[in-house]
Amino acid sequence: SVGLPRHVESMPRLPSGNGRISRLSAVVLGEALAAEENDLIFPSPEFSRDALVSSPEQYRKMYKRSIEDPAGFWSEIAAQFYWKKRWSPDVYSENIDVRKGPVKIEWFKGGITNICYNALDRNIEAGNGDKVALYWEGNEPGQDGQLTYAQLLDQVCQLANYLKHVGVSKGDAVVIYLPMLMELPIAMLACARIGAVHSVVFAGFSAESLAQRIIDCKPKVVVCSNAVSRGAKVINLKAIVDNALAESANNGIAVDLCLVYENQSTMKKEDTKWQDGRDILWQEVVPQFPTKCPVEWVDAEDPLFLLYTSGSTGKPKGVLHTTGGYMVYTATTFKYAFDYKPSDVYWCTADCGWITGHSYVTYGPLLNGATVLVFEGAPSYPDPGRCWDIVDKYKVTLFYTAPTLVRALMREGDEYVTRYSRKSLRVLGSVGEPINPSAWRWFYNVVGDSRCPISDTWWQTETGGFLITPIPGAWPQKPGSATFPFFGVQPVIVDEKGNELEGECSGYLCIKNSWPGIFRSLYGDHERYETTYFKPFAGYYFSGDGCRRDKDGYHWLTGRVDDVINVSGHRIGTAEIESALVYHPHCAEAAVVGVDHPVKGQGIYAFVTLVDGVDYTDEVRKSLILAVRTQIGAFAAPDKIHWAPGLPKTRSGKIMRRILRKIASKQLDELGDISTLAEPSVVNQLIEFTDR
């Protein structure tokens, strides 16, 4: 038997009896970590009593079982789903150690199932056909809609039948470029139903980015909508798709069919260009298809979806998730991290274009038979009280969002929150980046009236679901800590040499062994999969994040340790922004670093050298920012362009980003050793140019 890691053993207990409900430090002295570490926020005894996991002891018992007997632990959970044929022979098999051969991970292999069947048909057969599956709230208050589980299945089947009709079959890719309409989860589920592999592209990505993804995965069909309203803006999505399709055709990847959902918006009809033969209006064809569609049964290890994400180098990588393990893992993490009850109304503010929307808007909640709210609009439109208006309107009980939104709303003042009741709220959630303790406290005290535990869920596109997360009710929280590992997950913190650190420590966060939801490959590039994630520390999955473990065993994520920055919870590689800048004819060289930003978490700070003879003007600055917007998307636009007549480089020509980070954050007395620079004088020159 494997002993439990010390950090799990040392977890603080819950108070016995009806004692304290929560203890907040009387004076909040900045965000000093020492204070945070000692600040335990307890769930109320009532909350714990009714929770799925009520105490550290209960968690520890389940966790121990999940580590000592993963096969037994996960097969019992998996048995709650429908399998046409049970897996065999093993529950899982894995090699994540590159020294022992190629990395290969399989869960429930040989098991035959379908995730759409398990999310919809299974719940309907259990008597939940009339339960609301999706609520939809549009951009404008008052625009709304809903679908029961039975109605959702009908719509999914119609689209699935249409896709089959146009020749989409098992294993084919379908690109989905839709805003947050109910049609987005419908399209994902329709693909899953027929065994097609969806690749959702966030509808905030530019034509260039969309084209890049189309070229990589060569879809049979692109599903999109004409437009979306976000706040006061109407965005012509079809025009972006048209450009992307032209660009991919130029690269030899012609897509024959583009299915366009007409989203009710203020956009005029004539603003949507139509390519006859290629473009088909959803509303004209899909409703004509039958509302019953047989399920395509697939192997647990058949691909479910691709989702492109940014890495530290090169182009975005297609993270590949398969069916069975992902299904079991997203459903189980959702259930425990939000302490899910069948009466809950759940709202996750993430867009389905990101992994959070895949695992925790669509699959995890629907697999549990939950009622899910889908919101098309912007969270501060028409005013910063919109979220709480929506919470009251639908009696939302579980509210899951990102620290960047918490910080943005916090700045608008408590009034916008307190004018709404929010009595329905039970559990809050946070994802995307570390949540700073002051934002945590505001979320807890003001939004949650000091009674709703916060699940600060740490995970990644690659991990499929939560890896380190509170289980509300089971243990006290600390503001800003993701706390402890989920069942079956063994986090380890290593030093540069890959030695596992024990006790209070900080270093690189890795995971030992696989878990059901881990991605299986990078699409078309298994070698990059191994190099990026399994080679840096042989024998482990490397997350790319730094982490500290405190005296009580709590985990504190400290951000990326690679050249990836996290802007408003969106991951973006500095290399991607640099190549977008360098693409501009006036740009000779660019180096991008992340800097602290009060709302976005990190802001994008770009050092740019122009080609000889071009003047450093405001106009050039604007056109550089525009270049990034059009090549990647608005969310990647630099916050600051810093003119750089020269960049600090080593003699071998490597840009010293360490120095750039210090200059960007104005920590000029911490520049460190600059003697190894080829031309140390560029540093002073750069400092001089700071506000030019």
Applying CB under 6 A, which residues contact ligand 6R9?
309, 354-356, 430-434, 456-461, 482, 543-545, 557, 559-560, 566, 569, 571
Residue where the block lists tokens 């098992």: 170
Q: What are phi and psi of 603, to 5 degrees?
A: -110, 165
CB of 602 to ligand 6R9, least distance (A): 10
Angstrom distance (rounded) from CA 458 to CA 464? 11
Tell me which residue of 320, 331, 415 sits closest to 366, measured CA to CA.
Answer: 331
Cα 236 to chain centroid distance, Å, stands at: 25
Nearer to ligand 6R9, 73 or 475 (CB): 475
Burial 443-457 (b: 16+ CB within 10 A, else e): bbebbbeebbbbbbb
Report CA-CA distances (Å) from 383 to 172, 232, 374, 388.
42, 11, 19, 11
Nearer to ligand 6R9, 43 or 311 (CB): 311
Other CB atoms closer than 10 Å to residue 198's CB: what's the count?
25
What are 340's two structure tokens? 């899910």
CB of 374 to ligand 6R9, least distance (A): 18
Nearer to ligand 6R9, 155 or 199 (CB): 199
Other CB atoms closer than 10 Å to residue 4's CB: what's the count?
15
Nearer to ligand 6R9, 226 or 481 (CB): 481
Tell me which residue of 103, 460, 433, 104 sits closest to 309, measured CA to CA.
Answer: 460
Residue 447 DSSP code: I
What are 378's two structure tokens? 């912007």
Residue where the block lists tokens 């046409």: 84
Nearer to ligand 6R9, 396 or 431 (CB): 431
Composition of the chain by helix, strand, coil, percent to 5: 35, 25, 45
CB of 522 to ligand 6R9, least distance (A): 13
Provide the annotated active-site residues.
562
CB of 333 to ligand 6R9, least distance (A): 11
Strands 257-261 and 279-281: parallel
What are 366's two structure tokens? 């629907």
Nearer to ligand 6R9, 111 or 544 (CB): 544
Angstrom distance (rounded) from CA 449 to CA 453? 10
Angstrom distance (rounded) from CA 129 to CA 120? 9
Nearer to ligand 6R9, 286 or 494 (CB): 494
Other CB atoms closer than 10 Å to residue 685's CB: what's the count?
14
Residue 685 CA neighbour count, 13 Å, CB half: 12
CB 373 within 8 A of CB 394: yes
What are 431's two structure tokens? 């994802």
Report CA-CA distances (Å) from 574 to 58, 228, 603.
43, 28, 11
CB of 571 to ligand 6R9, least distance (A): 4
Angstrom distance (rounded) from CA 207 to CA 210? 5
Nearer to ligand 6R9, 460 or 579 (CB): 460
Nearer to ligand 6R9, 45 or 453 (CB): 453
Burial 232-265 (b: 16+ CB within 10 A, else e): eebbbbbebbbbbbebbeeeebebebbbbbbbeb
